[in-house]
Amino acid sequence: MHFSTFCGLVLFSCGLVVAQSDSTANVTQAFSQAHIVPGVIPVFAPVATLGVVFSDNSTGQQLNVTPGVNLTEAQTAREPQFFLNSSNSTLLNQTFVLTIVDPDALTPQNPSLAQFRHFLSGGFRINGTTNGTLLVNVTAALSDFIPPTPPAGSDPHRYIVLVFAQPPTFEDDSRAIVNSSTPRQNFNITAFAQTAQLGSPIAGNFFFTGPGDNSTGGSASGTAGGSQPSSTAPSAGSNGAFEVTGNLLRALVPTGLLWFIL
């Protein structure tokens, strides 16, 4: 067995039994503090943690998203990679639906276009052979990734990434609701999840992005810290439950193991 495969299996089966419980609680609290619950989704009881990793469009630097981190448009211009971590080994054989929505379009003060659907796809599976917890899409996306581009003058927007367990009927149910000609604006992830029989999300994450390159507050792995966004929906703070200026996943697992897998 290759070492990367071994690490991925250990991470899923036992490596996060304690830490993953703490981290799901932290993410749940962050969702509540940012008014994602109940403002965007009615409930959030994750059974896994979701790693979101961007590659900075300017520098190529890898950026690990901590819930509530503030990123620039350049940092979020490329479609990210997604990593699922859980102590529940049954998820290894599960297929997932993943979406990114903006509940603050057009602006947080005037969300007339909310929710804006930045990404929606089923067919995600855990690639346990080469990258441990990496989620790999094996089907075409319903809505390809569109990077954050909040309008000039807007406060930073929340960009919410959610993972659902995919039911057997998803392909038929989803394409009756969303296709290439379906408007991206005024999407409702809760209504979609109900119609497509997705249930509640099993994992999630979120970040803020403001217009231009003025969203340099907060931090991701390798970035400098700064002030939190001034959005009307506050981001989670550093209150002992979790650190906005830290890397959530790196804080919960041994750094060497995480960096080997990523």
Structural domains for the chain:
3-261 (3.90.280.10)
In tens digits, the chain (262 residues) has pLDDT values of 443 333 333 334 333 333 444 489 999 999 999 999 999 999 999 999 999 999 987 788 899 999 999 999 999 999 999 999 888 888 888 999 999 999 999 999 999 999 999 999 999 998 864 444 899 998 999 999 999 999 999 999 999 999 999 999 998 888 889 988 899 999 999 999 999 999 999 999 999 999 976 554 444 543 322 334 433 333 333 332 222 223 332 333 333 323 222 2
Q: Quote the pTM value.
A: 0.75
Asked whether the beta carbons of 141 and 121 are under 8 A apart, the reply is yes
